[in-house]
Structure 1
Amino acid sequence: MNDHYLKKLDRVAAILTQLQSKPIVRAQDLAEKFEVSVRTIYRDIKTLENAGIPIVGEAGSGYSLMEGYKLPPVMFTKEEVLSFITAEKLMQKFSHQSLGNHYQTAMDKLRSVLRSSDKNLIQNIENQIDIFDYSPKPDDTIKNVIPTILESIAEKKQLFIEYQSVDGNVSNRTIEAVGIFYEFTYWYIMAFCTLRKDFRQFRVDRILKIAKIEITFSQEYGKINDHRRIASKTTTKVKLLVDKKIMGYLVNSKSYYGLISENETENGIEMTFETEWIDEGFPRWLITFADYAEILEPELLKSKMKNLVQKLSEKLS
């Protein structure tokens, strides 16, 4: 069977899924989705009809499957159906690009087993749900990078990666992936690095090349959260005295920057951190509320804050 017929077979199967997913499907929409001519879609519809698929409709008005043709193996409640469409919106905004396309295909298959009333429910409500995300999306350098990582975890196979650090240096690493996590707009791999003989985390958008290799590993690494702090670099202890009135604005970020304790005093909240980003990340975060905070220790942080403020002052002068 040549490539032409394989592509046609895949497209016809996908068209059937589309017909099962929606109340009415237009030939023009199918042609745009599969990047073929409308005439080709007409021929594909005819192929399905010749195979015994009961399709209702005609060219120019749209197509649908005869009611009752496919009985769904699972019946979903309306609440479950609405949760699916909400999850789909979240995936569209926050999932990594290499996962989004696969999730969309999975949702099409899910729609295909819904009752007509539930398909109509989705069609009526999906434009009334939106997720506003103001975080910039990192550019993908590799197609299917996260599925490749997840496959390596499932198969317990090592990964070879070409990785670019924050300062632009490129190195080759062989890693044993423990898991992936999403934090502050970026996806990361947690892995055992065979070069460093220790756990490290790698930002996915900085991976320039990735490949599974045939070397397997038998070590059981446990849950990803067991290793996130272990993988951290050398930490620095920081103590701040913060005005109580702004504590509400720090709820989502303070843990990320290494908060280990906070105590209420007469003069404010004494916050203690163990941070691995004393050089750049922590000072830049602190400057967003520096007028409401006093640095108790270390002196190193005071010096870095002075340098940062001086640079800002020079740019604004």
Structure 2
Amino acid sequence: MNKTDRQLAIMLELQRNKMQRAEDLAALFETSVRTIYRDIQALSEMGVPIMGAPGHGYSLMEGYFLPPIGFSAEEAVTLLMGTDFIEQRLDGDYGQVAKAVRRKIEAILPEPVREESKRVRETMRLLHVSEPITGLKEKEYLGQARRAIMERRKIRMAYQKKLPESDGNRKSAREVDPYGLALVQGHWMLIGRCGLRQEIRHFRVSRITELAMLEERFEMPPDFKLSRYRPSDDRNERVVVRAHPDMVDKIAEHANFYLDAVEERVDGAWVSFRVRTPEELLHHILGWGGDVEVVEPESLRRRVREEAEKMLKRY
């Protein structure tokens, strides 16, 4: 980053964060504190009203705003592709906002930059290969959940679980304190405290069949931060398969979340997984066909054999 770009970036940081220490700016722009001091002095001499508070840092004088900033073609492409992603993946409210933002960005771009960014965007596309499209119903529930999170309102929902309970039932009714939303491997997950389980649980939004925002409010735990939250790893069961060596890349691509280790042997590649329940891998294993054999557990071997027999009867 050259001096001019860095000084502009310093002004943007001061406008965005109000107060910044020279040490923090130096770390952000990967330069020395002495260089930041020189940049601050140069900006002040150019008439930028930067205030210094000993022990606290630098800030822009209250009421001072930078004029509108131009974008390079690369910066414009970055922003415009971001609006494409938002429109595809978020709920309808944000979809409309994304369209409006795209129009505004395109309107303020100089003609040469607009044409260049258009040319670059035509060479790239956002595709979600092997990932589900966020459907209209899912976007509707996503929007309701997002509003409930912002308003700290409880939600009541009907949820279709992936695996049935011991009584064979897959449907359940839940009241949840919604804490946040995360897009994980193409699936929107609602993270919140489940009233039934009395703990933080994760719910795939595509499996919600009904959702209502309640009048009752909840308090967000003071120690919960979605950006730092990491779910506990409860994948305590082990599955081992023997696969043709040519299948290893495909297995890693489709079941990377569960993959634990790969060992090359004379009789093929032995691949081990860690799962919550062996049935989680069933549809993957059936999709890999005869190039993969379940070694353990025996219960999963039986399930695969049963499914294969059902398929044989149909064909």
Q: Same fold (TM over 0.5)?
A: yes
Aligned residue among 66, 69, 73 for 2:68: 73
Paired position in structure 1 for 2:173: 172
Contact (CA 8 Å) 1:159, 1:211: kept in 2 or not? yes
Deviations 1:269-303 (A, max 9, x none): 33222223523x41221122242333221100110
Alignment of 1:140 onto 2:139: no
Q: Distance in 2 between matches of 1:180 and 1:170?
A: 22
Paired position in structure 2 for 1:149: 145
Contact (CA 8 Å) 1:159, 1:174: kept in 2 or not? yes
| Distance verdict in 2 for CA 1:133–1:273, change over 3 Å | closer
Counterparts of residues 90-129 of structure 1 (less than 5 Å): 90-93=85-88, 95-98=89-92, 99-129=94-124
Q: Distance in 2 between matches of 1:126 and 1:169?
A: 44
Identity %: 17
The total of aligned residue pairs comes to: 241
Letter in 2 for 1:313: L
Q: How far off is 1:306 after superposition?
A: 0.3
| Distance verdict in 2 for CA 1:269–1:141, change over 3 Å | same
Contact (CA 8 Å) 1:96, 1:187: kept in 2 or not? no
Paired position in structure 1 for 2:57: none
Letter in 1 for 2:311: L
Letter in 2 for 1:236: E
Alignment of 1:163 onto 2:162: no
Return the TM-score normalized by structure 2. 0.63
Paired position in structure 2 for 1:211: 213
| Distance verdict in 2 for CA 1:144–1:101, change over 3 Å | farther
Other structure's SS at 2:253 match: coil
Is 203-212 or 114-123 further displaced after alignment? 114-123
Q: Distance in 1 between matches of 2:274 and 2:107?
A: 50
Other structure's SS at 2:254 match: coil
Other structure's SS at 1:73 match: coil
Is 148-157 or 294-303 further displaced after alignment? 148-157
Contact (CA 8 Å) 2:178, 2:192: kept in 1 or not? yes
Letter in 2 for 1:101: Q
> Which structure is higher in RCO with an 8 Å CA cutoff and minimum separation 6?
1
Q: How far off is 1:175 after superposition?
A: 1.2
Q: Distance in 1 between matches of 2:70 and 2:142?
A: 31
Q: How far off is 1:151 after superposition?
A: 4.1
Contact (CA 8 Å) 1:142, 1:209: kept in 2 or not? no
Q: Distance in 1 between matches of 2:268 and 2:179?
A: 40
Structure 1 unaligned spans of 5+: 1-70
Alignment of 1:272 onto 2:272: yes
| Distance verdict in 2 for CA 1:105–1:214, change over 3 Å | farther
Q: How far off is 1:308 after superposition?
A: 0.8
Q: Distance in 2 between matches of 1:218 and 1:197?
A: 14
Structure 2 unaligned spans of 5+: 1-65
| Distance verdict in 2 for CA 1:292–1:248, change over 3 Å | same
Paired position in structure 2 for 1:312: 311
Contact (CA 8 Å) 1:180, 1:224: kept in 2 or not? no
| Distance verdict in 2 for CA 1:287–1:170, change over 3 Å | closer
Other structure's SS at 1:221 match: coil
Q: Distance in 1 between matches of 2:90 and 2:299?
A: 37
Deviations 1:142-196 (A, max 9, x none): 6653344334444544333333445785543221223323345432212220111
Q: How far off is 1:205 after superposition?
A: 2.6
Paired position in structure 2 for 1:301: 300
Contact (CA 8 Å) 1:163, 1:170: kept in 2 or not? yes
RMSD of equivalent CA atoms: 3.3
Q: Distance in 2 between matches of 1:225 and 1:252?
A: 26
Contact (CA 8 Å) 1:162, 1:210: kept in 2 or not? no
Alignment of 1:221 onto 2:213: no
Q: Distance in 1 between matches of 2:143 and 2:73?
A: 31
Other structure's SS at 1:106 match: helix
Q: Distance in 2 between matches of 1:111 and 1:267?
A: 59
Alignment of 1:241 onto 2:242: yes
Other structure's SS at 1:248 match: helix
Aligned residue among 68, 80, 86 for 1:85: 80
Q: How far off is 1:249 after superposition?
A: 1.5
Is 289-298 or 124-133 further displaced after alignment? 124-133
Q: How far off is 1:310 after superposition?
A: 0.5
Contact (CA 8 Å) 1:237, 1:272: kept in 2 or not? yes
Contact (CA 8 Å) 1:176, 1:193: kept in 2 or not? yes
